[in-house]
Chain A
Amino acid sequence: MGVSKHSWKTCLKIILIALVPGLFLTGCWDSDDIEQRATVLGISIDKVDDADGADLAQITGLGNQFPKPKEGLIRLSAQIAVPGRIPLGPQTGGAGVDQNPLWVISVVGYTLDDTIAVLQQEVADRLFFGHLRTIVISEEVAKDGVKRFNDYLRRNPEIRRTAWMVVSKGEAKKFMEVAPKLERVPTLYLSAMVENAVRLGTFPEDFIGLFWTRLQSKGQDTFLPYLELKKEDNIQISGLAYFKDDRMIGRTEPVEIGLFMAVTGEKRGGYEVFVKVPDTDVKVIVRAEHRRTSIIPTLRNGKPHFVIKIHYESTIAEGAVGIDLNNAEIVRKIEEEATKGVIEGTNRLIKKMQDEQSDIFGFGEYFRAKQPAYWNKKIQTKEKWREVYKDLTFDIHCTTKIRRVGTKAK
């Protein structure tokens, strides 16, 4: 008995030992060589005239069997990295400089996945979106609404939530073709542009995951950076594209981004403004270094009311001819003047957003969180909040402290 049990066991063991490595070692279904991937680094989406769709190949649709949707046509341009040509680290030697590391291809389709299917039909290697960094959409497309793209971007597990979506002034495809000098890969420059803007304090953090969170939140509207292509293939952040639901409805001036960040309580300040020194004609430049904001949602006479307290820590970045900054009294006056400017500016910005019914500040979220009784009874939905938001009253209190004046004594 003992012997037979033992041999049976050994036999089973041998069979298992033979089987198990087989399962693991042949498990190369997903082996994918890096040269055989078409790594997409950036995509841009433009609107196309529907007339251009007449001669579309039947790739994702076939007459009435797989009918095409009614939405307008889009043109997707993808920036695909050519394997082996993306320089890693500093350039050594002259070889390979002329070779373009990227290949930009454009295709036309109805939806995002439609265009990607068409694109795959035209590219030999499997498209890989794991390194997708930026999605540029043209202003026109943004104004038609971005919800139709979100579904695919959420559904595809390769796509990072930390990618950025940006709105371009004019044609988005141009952003795929620019050749900025600082980076070999245009998309990487583009994403460095927005990511560094966050670090410099000129734009709030707004990667696509946050964009979606704000889009979905009941008491908040979303926003994206608005970029403009300049002459030298350089790119300017020329405002903040604000949305109502998923549609872009307008954009702010660049310096208003600073005021916006003051209201939302973004800590790092990066904008510099001219401040007139009282009783003189002289203007000095004050740079915001650091902010603290508290937003207090209250009810006044039974109506939503907000108290916004902003505190600035600033430095004087540039003085001017005819003013002696070696005087605490003058600095105090500059502080007062800067404060006044901030209050006026934020007031105007909030009023403008109220007229546009775009709550990019997320006041509704404060209200939902901190005044739940009122919210649950009277508001509940995003639409209703927009109506309340339109007539919202608010007080802005601001203080400015200029702590430093740089290394000049006067």
Chain B
Amino acid sequence: MEYPREITVIQATTILISTIIGVGLLALPLFAVRTADTGAPLVTLFGIAIASTGLGLITFLGIRHPRKSIILYGEDILGKWLSRVPNIVIILFFAILTGLTSREFGAVVITAILKQTPLEVTVIVMLILAALSTRNDMNVFAYIHNFYVPFILAPALIIVALSLKNANSLYLLPVVGNEPGSYLVGGLTIAALFQGSFIFTMIIPFMRHPRKAFKASIWGMVIAGGLYLLIVIATVAVFGPVEITNLLWPTLELARTTSIPGNILQRLDIVFLSVWVIAVFTTLFSSYMFTVHSISQMAGLRDHKMLSFFILPIVFVIAMIPQNILHLYDVIEIFGRLGLILTVGYPLLLVSVDLVKKKVKKSGSIKA
């Protein structure tokens, strides 16, 4: 493959950060508190650990096959025909993920700000925006992410810092939670929010120095995971574990409770939502890009541009399937957890097969 290999470590890191930080931010504290009340930060940490494992495996594979993404080295490792099945499932999964993300975005917008605007419009506008952007090549993709990361991180951190005025550290104790439920289920649900990091497999072949991919994945996970953890800590400390169970989007409520001192802005939810629109866009952009790019690689196309609009109606229809917001969140939770089989389990399978193959080859060569 004669890709221009121009993505730097910093760019790769920012791609990871802005891909991970996305729509899940709003409901994250609710998921965490549901499983472990005051132990929410610990569950989040557990989720981050699971997600990091997945990302670590992907990076490991990427470094071993520095010129290929998972679609292609899957073919190498499992064989061309056998790998078709997981590849198709991965593409379908990311198409569905894109659809659900845009739908969740639409649901928040129609509930919280634009009440009269039809849901279809907010969803389709966002999807068209992502589809248009995916017509660019990988370098522009990296630039766009790189550009937006500060706009996502800075306001989010400011909101967290200002919200701590109303925080009560008692709500964070005991650290393991009073009535901890299943840490495993909670951890998996939260790990599912980090699934966007899977697209890193598409980035590595474009990196100038694929060997440094680990550096990017560690920093990406630390920064994005750190922000998620901070947000969980802040929401739990401000609202207390029991009140959060009453809130559909605790993070949004956190922004609503927070004001800039001196009556400049009495509520920060509008600031937060505009930041969040960018965060959702970058996430959507990544998963859309991954879907389109993977289809083109599987089909052996040189260019993915023509596919951008081809899959738009499919993604849109997927977005419109859930009947209401409660149904939507059920679907998201189930799909998220099942997705982990793909984003953590499948790489694990590939790594083991790859290593076994290598050993067999080695012993074979020694014999010969």
Min CB–CB distance A293 → chain B (angstroms)? 13
Distance between Cα atoms of A154 and B257 in the complex (Å): 12
A-facing residues in B167-189 (Cβ within 8 Å):
168, 170-174, 176, 178-179
Contact with B along A152-179 (1 / 0, CB 8 A): 0010010011100000000000000000
Q: Taking CB as reference atom, which chain A residue is nearest B170?
A: A369
CB contact between A161 and one of B38, B124, B170, B253 (< 8 Å): that residue:
B253
Distance between Cα atoms of A7 and B320 in the complex (Å): 33
Q: Residue B363 at the A interface, CB < 8 A? A: no
Chain B residues with CB under 8 Å of A12's CB are 309
Chain A residues with CB under 8 Å of B266's CB are 160, 162
Asked if A160 and B121 sit within 8 Å, CB to CB, the answer is: no
Interface size class of A (residues with CB under 8 A): 20 to 34
Chain B residues with CB under 8 Å of A217's CB are 171, 240, 242-243
Chain B residues with CB under 8 Å of A372's CB are 173-174, 176, 178
Q: Which of A19-27, A53-61, A91-99, A399-407 contacts B (4 or more CB under 8 A)?
A: A19-27
Chain B residues with CB under 8 Å of A368's CB are 170, 173-174, 178
A-facing residues in B218-268 (Cβ within 8 Å):
238-240, 242-243, 246-247, 253, 256-257, 259, 266-267
CB contact between B267 and one of A154, A160, A210, A375 (< 8 Å): that residue:
A160
Min CB–CB distance A266 → chain B (angstroms)? 12
Q: Residue A365 at the B interface, CB < 8 A? A: yes
Asked if B179 and A216 sit within 8 Å, CB to CB, the answer is: no
Q: Residue B358 at the A interface, CB < 8 A? A: no
Asked if A369 and B116 sit within 8 Å, CB to CB, the answer is: no
Asked if B125 and A212 sit within 8 Å, CB to CB, the answer is: no
CB contact between B132 and one of A16, A205, A376 (< 8 Å): that residue:
A16
CB contact between A162 and one of B38, B112, B117, B257 (< 8 Å): that residue:
B257
Q: Residue B321 at the A interface, CB < 8 A? A: no
Q: Contacts A30-B116, A205-B166, A380-B179: A369 and B174 contacting too (C-beta < 8 A)?
A: yes
Chain B residues with CB under 8 Å of A23's CB are 121, 124-125, 128
Distance between Cα atoms of A218 and B38 in the complex (Å): 12
Q: Taking CB as reference atom, which chain A residue is nearest B180?
A: A376
Q: Residue A29 at the B interface, CB < 8 A? A: yes
Q: Residue B118 at the A interface, CB < 8 A? A: yes
What is the interface of chain B mostly: helix, strand, loop, or mixed? helix
Asked if A29 and B257 sit within 8 Å, CB to CB, the answer is: no
Distance between Cα atoms of A212 and B112 in the complex (Å): 20
Asked if B179 and A213 sit within 8 Å, CB to CB, the answer is: no
Contact with B along A82-114 (1 / 0, CB 8 A): 000000000000000000000000000000000
Q: Residue A394 at the B interface, CB < 8 A? A: no
Chain B residues with CB under 8 Å of A366's CB are 170
A-facing residues in B121-144 (Cβ within 8 Å):
121, 124-125, 128, 132
Asked if B170 and A210 sit within 8 Å, CB to CB, the answer is: no
Q: Residue A145 at the B interface, CB < 8 A? A: no
Q: Residue B111 at the A interface, CB < 8 A? A: yes
Q: Residue A319 at the B interface, CB < 8 A? A: no
Contact with A along B47-80 (1 / 0, CB 8 A): 0000000000000000000000000000000000
Q: Residue A333 at the B interface, CB < 8 A? A: no
Min CB–CB distance B242 → chain A (angstroms)? 4
Asked if A216 and B240 sit within 8 Å, CB to CB, the answer is: yes
Q: Residue B115 at the A interface, CB < 8 A? A: yes
| Interface hub of A161, A162, A216 (most chain B Cβ within 10 A) | A161
Asked if B170 and A365 sit within 8 Å, CB to CB, the answer is: yes
Q: Residue B114 at the A interface, CB < 8 A? A: yes
Asked if A29 and B114 sit within 8 Å, CB to CB, the answer is: yes
Q: Contacts A16-B132, A23-B121, A365-B170: A30 and B115 contacting too (C-beta < 8 A)?
A: yes
Q: Residue A370 at the B interface, CB < 8 A? A: yes
Q: Taking CB as reference atom, which chain A residue is nearest B118?
A: A29
Q: Residue A209 at the B interface, CB < 8 A? A: yes
CB contact between A27 and one of B38, B121, B253 (< 8 Å): that residue:
B121
Q: Contacts A20-B128, A372-B178: A161 and B117 contacting too (C-beta < 8 A)?
A: no
Chain A residues with CB under 8 Å of B176's CB are 372
Asked if A369 and B112 sit within 8 Å, CB to CB, the answer is: no
Min CB–CB distance A113 → chain B (angstroms)? 15
CB contact between B111 and one of A157, A160, A209 (< 8 Å): that residue:
A157
Min CB–CB distance B361 → chain A (angstroms)? 43
Q: Contacts A30-B117, A162-B267: A212 and B256 contacting too (C-beta < 8 A)?
A: no
Asked if B166 and A210 sit within 8 Å, CB to CB, the answer is: yes
Chain B residues with CB under 8 Å of A216's CB are 240, 242-243, 246
Chain B residues with CB under 8 Å of A24's CB are 125
Chain B residues with CB under 8 Å of A375's CB are 178
Contact with A along B183-221 (1 / 0, CB 8 A): 000000000000000000000000000000000000000
Asked if B256 and A161 sit within 8 Å, CB to CB, the answer is: yes
Q: Taking CB as reference atom, which chain B residue is nearest A157?
A: B112
Contact with B along A24-62 (1 / 0, CB 8 A): 100101100000000000000000000000000000000
Q: Taking CB as reference atom, which chain B residue is nearest A217?
A: B240
Q: Taking CB as reference atom, which chain B residue is nearest A215?
A: B243
Chain B residues with CB under 8 Å of A29's CB are 114, 116-118, 121
CB contact between B243 and one of A212, A362, A370 (< 8 Å): that residue:
A212
Asked if A161 and B111 sit within 8 Å, CB to CB, the answer is: no
Asked if B173 and A370 sit within 8 Å, CB to CB, the answer is: yes
Asked if B128 and A160 sit within 8 Å, CB to CB, the answer is: no
Asked if A27 and B117 sit within 8 Å, CB to CB, the answer is: yes
Min CB–CB distance A185 → chain B (angstroms)? 15
Min CB–CB distance B34 → chain A (angstroms)? 14
Distance between Cα atoms of A23 and B129 in the complex (Å): 12
Distance between Cα atoms of A20 and B266 in the complex (Å): 34
Min CB–CB distance A224 → chain B (angstroms)? 16
Q: Contacts A27-B121, A30-B114: A213 and B256 contacting too (C-beta < 8 A)?
A: no
Min CB–CB distance B236 → chain A (angstroms)? 11
Min CB–CB distance A183 → chain B (angstroms)? 15
Distance between Cα atoms of A16 and B124 in the complex (Å): 13
Q: Taking CB as reference atom, which chain A residue is nearest B122?
A: A27
Min CB–CB distance B248 → chain A (angstroms)? 9
Min CB–CB distance B276 → chain A (angstroms)? 14
Chain B contacts to A: CB under 8 angstroms = 38, 111-118, 121, 124-125, 128, 132, 166, 168, 170-174, 176, 178-179, 238-240, 242-243, 246-247, 253, 256-257, 259, 266-267, 309
Given contacts A29-B117, A161-B257, A213-B240, 15 further A-B contacts (CB under 8 A): A23-B125, A23-B128, A29-B121, A30-B114, A30-B116, A154-B247, A209-B239, A213-B239, A213-B243, A216-B242, A365-B170, A366-B170, A368-B178, A369-B174, A372-B178
Name 17 interchain pairs, CB-CB below 8 A, sorted by A: A16-B128, A16-B132, A20-B128, A27-B121, A27-B125, A30-B117, A154-B247, A157-B113, A162-B267, A209-B239, A213-B240, A213-B243, A365-B170, A368-B173, A369-B172, A369-B174, A372-B174
Chain A contacts to B: CB under 8 angstroms = 12, 16, 20, 23-24, 27, 29-30, 154, 157, 160-162, 205, 209-210, 212-213, 216-218, 362, 365-366, 368-370, 372, 375-376, 380
Give the top 7 A-B pairs by smallest Cβ distance, nearest first.
Answer: A369-B173, A372-B174, A29-B116, A216-B242, A29-B117, A216-B243, A369-B170
